[in-house]
Chains A and B, each alone.
Chain A
Amino acid sequence: MTETTPLLSDDLVWVAGSDAPEKTALNIGFMPLTDSASLIVAATQGFAQPYGLTLNLKRQASWATLRDKLVTGELDAAQGLYGLIYGIHLGLGGNPATDMAVLMGLAQNGQSINLSARLQRSGVTSAEALLQYVHHSRAKLTFAQTFPTGTHAMWLYYWLASLGIHPLKDVNTVVVPPSQMVAHLQAGRIDGFCAGEPWGAHAIDQGMGFTLATSQALWPDHPEKVLGCTREFVEQYPNTARALVMAVLEASRFIDASDENKCSAAQLISGSDYVDAPLQTIQSRFLGRYEDGNGHAWLDAHPLRFCAEGAVNMPYLSDGLWFMTQFRRWGLLREDPDYQAIARAVQQTSLYADAAGALGLAVPDAMRSSTLLDGKPWDGHDPAAYARSFALHSLSNEPHSAAL
């Protein structure tokens, strides 16, 4: 705008135009994690401007802060743990329930469960050894995850339970922001953690721990981070929301297009404004090249991925439902919620289909089928029965749960 031009109608007409974004400058929250790459690339590499958007990246120190800023509107949209968005929606955290929206999936795979170097030295280097240790040691081990309703809590609980370790009875669990995991491991305050990369690789790099399990070993191509916002934001700014999804989809497709693109993206996000971690701890696992810090190296069949021609990004109803089943299983929800209605309200499937369709990406079915580590299939049908189908659970405040 030239200095003395008042706010004239031309500008307003453009702002009010039919398909144009209603709001053009957005504050986007992210955490220092490898899987925030698509948001960082979208914001800095010119993917948003063609849609009339400017994305201002706002790094957050903890998931709880990010949650608070998302709810108050200080952040327009943010990288979110799948479960975090549902936790806010259901009022399971420090906030009263706020209607939320999952605009799209941002990433699948690429989290890990890591144990301390102390446990490693004691010979606890396998799942079986961990089970023995937990059942024979007098002191309870303490595991950290990143948010009470978050994905890492659910991966950790599911994984421990699949071994026969009750995550809420046999061990202690605490919440620690991902970038502080290694420091807590070093200080001996925790014996293991589940978090996103690069913090597992960083623990190995620092000689503080090793990776016992990857999240993709628990659930190949599992849902992980989403682009979340309040329902109010989608309703107030539908064109903005669609434009944002398109910009992030294009950035996601670009990252996944080649190893060269992934390497450059890893370089970008390692910077002090973003993940602020050494490149080598980010890059290997970004490319699917794993070393567990315990003598094994492999090229992962299900590494972190951002697009896979849209297979990653669909806000599947079945993914949203799964987190609610686990909230129910572990007693975060004391009653069965209206699973299907909540998932349909939160997952913005039709907005996503518009955006993906406009970019020529296939829009998959809203229900997908998976088989998890323990051999249990999940396809999104009968979530209430699924939530009750596990040997280990915390449904005990219910009169009829004992028989399970």
Chain B
Amino acid sequence: MLRILLINDTPKKVGRLKSALTEAGFEVIDESGLVIDLPERVEAIRPDVILIDTESPGRDVMEQVCLVSRDQPRPIVMFTDDHDPGVMRQAIQSGVSAYIVEGIHAQRLQPILDVAMARFESDQALRAQLNAREAQLAERKRVELAKGLLMKMKSCNEEEAYTLMRRQAMSRQQKLIQVAEQIIAMHDMLGN
């Protein structure tokens, strides 16, 4: 059974949605009036899906949503009374997996949440790829920097510098990036 964290920090009544969810067989595990402790709450409760009101203070909640999404990735589903496609688009771009217009029939919730879960999973895979690419680029820059420093220090060419760094890394059972960081740190300390 899906465990849903229902967040409500607006004066709007969520009673109808909550009872629809319960009727449809979901476990609605929390109803928070506070957004401030959302990351901790998500960490503690580990819900399968987070449901949040679009009107809970607008753009700020979007930020909060992204933050939650980054630290503790969970599919996030928005619910709303209004049909503004702009808000919807913005929400989806922020990593929201699906959108529920309030008043929807209980029996239609399951397919929506299924889609939300599937979309979330594929987003996560893409996000992991992009993060890996970022890390790769950053690592590559550090290795390049260290190589340049070593070429100056040892008056050697690029290939020789790479070979020296790699031999050093391998004989210490380290990765190339670790040796690169050591070279950069040493260079900084010596103040060259």
In chain A, positions 1-32 with a C-beta closer than 8 Å to chain B are 1, 3-4, 6-8, 11, 14-15, 23-25
- Say whether B130 contacts A15, CB under 8 Å: yes
Assess the B166–A52 pair: CB atoms within 8 A: no
Q: B129–A23 contact, CB under 8 A?
A: yes
Contact partner of B70 (CB less than 8 A), chosen from A3, A41, A257, is: A3
Q: Is the interface of B mostly helix, strand, loop or mixed?
A: helix
Do B143 and A7 touch (CB < 8 A)? Answer: no
Give chain B's interface residue range (CB within 8 Å of chain A): 35 or more
Question: B126, B129, B133 — which one has the most chain A CB atoms within 10 A of its CB?
Answer: B133
* Known interface pairs A1-B134, A50-B140, A54-B136; A6-B95 also in contact (CB < 8 Å): yes
Expressed in whole angstroms, the minimum distance between the Cβ of B40 and any Cβ of chain A is 17
Do A24 and B133 touch (CB < 8 A)?
yes
Does A7 contact B126, Cβ atoms closer than 8 Å?
yes
Stretch at the interface among B9-17, B43-51, B97-105, B171-179: B171-179
Chain B residue nearest to A264 in the complex (CB): B170
- Residue A46 contacts which of B93, B127, B166 (CB distance < 8 angstroms)? B166
B166 proximity list for chain A (CB < 8 A): 41, 45-46, 254, 261, 264
| Those of B109-154 within 8 Å (CB) of chain A | 123, 126-136, 139-140, 143
Interface residues on A, range: 20 to 34
B187 at the interface (CB under 8 A from A): no
Q: What are 5 of the A-B contact pairs (CB < 8 Å)? A: A7-B126, A45-B175, A46-B177, A254-B163, A268-B169
| A-B contacts at CB below 8 angstroms, number | 92
Find out whether the CB atom of B66 lies under 8 angstroms from the CB atom of A6: yes
**Contact yes or no, A4 B67, CB < 8 A:** yes
Closest to A272 in B: B173
A232 at the interface (CB under 8 A from B): no
A6 to B95, CA, bound (A): 7
B residues in contact (CB < 8 Å) with A: 63, 66-67, 70, 93-95, 123, 126-136, 139-140, 143, 162-163, 166-167, 169-177
In the bound assembly, the distance between CA atoms of A145 and B127 in angstroms comes to: 42
If A46-B143, A50-B140, A54-B135 are given as contacts, then 5 extra A-B residue pairs at C-beta distance below 8 Å, sorted by A number, are A3-B70, A7-B95, A7-B126, A15-B129, A260-B167
CA separation between A254 and B127, bound complex, in Å? 33
**Complex contact B170–A265 (CB within 8 A):** yes
**Interface membership of A125, Cβ < 8 A:** no
Q: Which of B123, B133, B163 contacts A7 (CB 8 A)?
A: B123
**Are A24 and B136 CB-contacts (below 8 A) given A3-B66, A6-B94, A46-B143?**
yes
Assess A52 versus B133: contact at CB under 8 Å? Given A3-B67, A261-B167: yes
- Counting from the closest, the 5 A-B pairs by CB-CB distance are A264-B170, A25-B132, A46-B176, A268-B170, A271-B173
Q: Known contacts A1-B134, A4-B63, A24-B132; is A268 also within 8 Å of B173 by CB?
A: yes
Whether A120 sits at the interface, judged by CB under 8 Å, is no
What are the residues of chain B within 8 A of A15 when measuring CB–CB?
126, 129-130, 133
**Given contact pairs A3-B66, A7-B123, A25 touches B129 in the complex (Cβ within 8 A):** yes
- Please name all residues of chain A whose beta carbon is closer than 8 Å to the beta carbon of B127 when the two chains form the complex: 1, 7
A267 an interface residue at 8 Å Cβ cutoff?
yes
Q: Which residue of A lies closest to B147 (CB)?
A: A46
Contacts of A284 in B (CB 8 A): none
Q: In the bound complex, what is the Cα–Cα distance between A381 and B12 (angstroms)? A: 79
Contacts of A24 in B (CB 8 A): 129, 132-133, 136
Query: CB-nearest residue of chain B relative to A257?
Result: B163
CA distance A261 to B130 in the complex (A): 33
A266, B133: Cα distance in complex, Å: 29
- Cβ–Cβ < 8 Å partners of A260 in chain B: 167
Asked if A49 is at the interface (CB within 8 A of a chain B CB), the reply is: yes
Most buried by A among B93, B127, B170, B174: B170
Which A-chain residue is minimally distant from B130 (CB atoms)? A11
User: What separation, in Å, do the CA atoms of A25 and B131 have in the docked complex?
Assistant: 9
Task: A46 to B166: give the CA distance in the assembly, Å.
Answer: 8
Give the distance in Å from the alpha carbon of A268 to the alpha carbon of B168 in the complex.
Answer: 10
Chain B residues with CB under 8 Å of A44's CB are 169-170, 174-176
- Tell me, yes or no, whether A106 is within 8 Å of chain B by CB: no
